[in-house]
Amino acid sequence: MGIVDLSELRDLVDNLVNSAQKLQDAIIKSYLWEHLQDIVDKYYDIGRLIQIKKLDRGYVNESFLIDTEKSEKRFRYFLRKYKRGIREEEVKFEHSIIKHLMARNFTLAASIIKRVDGLTYVKEEKEIDDEIEEIYFAIFEFLNGEDKYTWDNPLCTEKELESSARVLAKYHSNIYDLKPEGRRYEPKILELLPTISGDLMKYAKRAGTTKFDAYFFKNLDHILSVIDETLSQFHSGAYSNLLQLAIHCDFHPGNLKFENEEVIGMFDFDWSKIDVRIFDVALAIVYFCSTWEGKEDGDLLLDRVDRFISAYQSEAAKQDTVGAMNGNEMDFLPVMIKAANLYVLNWDVDDFYIKKQNPYEYLIYLQHNVRLMRWIENNWKDLVNVVKKFSYVN
């Protein structure tokens, strides 16, 4: 028997593994193509499916660019496969927002493509882990423009920042009188904060040995104390007078498309829910105005906060519906920024433990929000003073 060349054996094994992976990928791609083709053919009148591209964006749903051909013309759409566990009432709620905006000629939002029978989504049932689960699909208009940013790389230009604030104001002005179908099951922020405390303590009991677990456990008591403090700052009868509407609840640069430093498209309404308007503004400030860079990671850039609020107020004041944020809303806005950061921080922890995500990636997210939490504590007066400039509105 001859001598075995280990290097050749390793190469052979590597080639077999690569071949097996390619075969598996091809099988998955073939199944995906057939599945999506079946959906397009069975429910829609948008032509023959000729190309599919899976998008590597987002953390919740699966997204695809699809090209179709009809009457010798080519069309492009955005197809979403919704996350596991979403309920039909939540899909209906999101779609009622989009239909309302379409009726208002709010062209910045991607319109939803209706099925031949007029419905706006496809519902399938599939057996997963011995249980029947409902899976939802929907097709949307493809928005032009450039995907320039993500939620963790949000520092757009000053002109883009101001354009984004104006778009949020226009959205609020167009959605204020929505009569929604369905509902989003996530509680409003004031009701959600106590639930967040309970969930964080639950996750702490099952914390593992990763760097994420260690950092989370180290900061848990401080996070819980900030939640309690934030709740105490909301205890006022004036809170019940705050304007409520269908907020976007995920308004960040990664969910916008830009051209020449102007927003020309907004999307991802699946986090939307009925809540106070200032929560939407506060959440946008957390996303648009905090830096992720170097030693400044977690700093809230007050000049950007000033620009964002100024642009929002100026645009909202031009609208003949909800108008600019009033003095009562401005009084609550600083503490709502605290709450909005806690909301994102909770997502960091929740997504990590539920989906068993990469601890190194999610440690970056958690560190950012913990640092921002501490920055807000340490610079509270400065934040309040910036917001106070806009409290003249009655």
Alpha carbons 310 and 330: distance in angstroms, whole number: 12
> Do residues 365 and 314 touch, judged by C-beta distance below 8 A?
no
Q: Given this model, what pLDDT does residue 10 score?
A: 65
Architecture of domain 19-141: 2-Layer Sandwich (3.30)
Q: Confirm whether pTM is higher than 0.85.
A: yes
Q: What is the number of H-type helices and E-type strands within the chain?
A: 10, 9
CATH class of the domain at 158-388: alpha beta
Q: What is the 3-state secondary structure (H, E, C) of 358-391?
A: CHHHHHHHHHHHHHHHHHHHHCHHHHHHHHHCCC
**Is 96 strand, coil or helix?**
helix
**Crossing angle (nearest 10°) for helices 327-355 and 211-233:** 150
Q: Hunting for tokens 């239909």 — which residue is that?
A: 99
- CA gap 362, 353 in Å, rounded: 10
Segments making up each domain of the chain, as ranges:
19-141, 158-388
| Residue spans of the chain under pLDDT 50 | 24-25, 27-28, 394
> CB–CB of 290/368 below 8 Å?
yes
> Looking at residue 226, what is its pLDDT?
98
d(CA 350, CA 299): 23
Q: What is the C-alpha to C-alpha distance for residues 361 and 355, in angstroms, rounded to an integer? A: 13
- Do residues 111 and 128 lie in contact, with contact meaning Cβ atoms separated by under 8 Å? no
Per-residue pLDDT, 165: 98
Report the distance separating Cα 46 and Cα 69, nearest Å: 8
Q: Output the pLDDT for position 233.
A: 93
Tell me the C-alpha to C-alpha distance, in Å, between residue 84 and each of 132, 133, 284, 355: 11, 8, 26, 11
